[in-house]
Amino acid sequence: MSARTFEMLLTTAYAPEKQHLFESGAAAAYQQFEQAYKASGRQRGMPQEELNFRFERVRLGVAIAFIKAYSRLADNEGAKEVLALLQEALTARSTKEIDRIIQKKINLFDNLYHEIFVNEQREQILAYFERTLDAASKEELDELMFEGLELLHETDFQHNHDDDEDNDQLDEDFLKSIT
């Protein structure tokens, strides 16, 4: 079920555009993570690198879903840069390589919070993104995927873009009135 939830989360975040993050598909990426998770429980003392790598790929996918949804709600250049960085990290072949890619542009995460306007849905999505970065277990990621999918289904992406246009017009009108 979680593999399907992972796939649906990404599909919903990218809609109507198609996401092509994982060569074999999002569900397969999650299934690879589950296989590594089960194998690590059966084989005590086995190297954890494979499990850690599969976990990081799923965590990146969940984070990408939230940042993609956020960027659909807000025309935020910082979100686009973070999205590109996370997508680049997803191409890594090891956990160390993922860390190296993220660390060289870690300052991009700070820019997410610039230009943020009061908008409850944007704040919720960023909160899920933050929780994803802090997630340390399969159970946490599964919970985030389920809750996040529910949130994204409730999000009116079109309405929020209309609000931005209205806010831009209000800002222009306000500036004209004070000059």
Give me the tens of pLDDT residue by residue for the chain, a chain 179 residues long: 699 999 999 999 999 999 899 999 999 999 999 999 988 877 665 568 899 999 999 999 999 999 999 999 887 888 999 999 999 999 999 999 999 999 999 999 887 776 555 678 888 999 999 999 999 999 999 999 999 999 999 998 886 554 544 444 444 554 444 44
| Predicted pLDDT of residue 122 | 86
CA distance 153 to 35: 29
Phi and psi at 136, nearest 5°, equal: -125, 5
List, in sequence order, the alpha helices (H) in 24-137: 26-42, 49-73, 77-90, 95-104, 120-134
CA distance 51 to 77: 33
Q: Which two tokens stand for residue 148?
A: 């996040």
CA distance 61 to 25: 11
| Predicted pLDDT of residue 168 | 46
| Predicted pLDDT of residue 1 | 63
| Predicted pLDDT of residue 78 | 87
- Class of residue 119 by CB neighbours under 10 A (exposed 0-12, middle 13-18, buried 19+): middle
| Predicted pLDDT of residue 174 | 45
Q: CB-based contacts of 153: which residues, under 8 Å, 6+ apart? A: 12
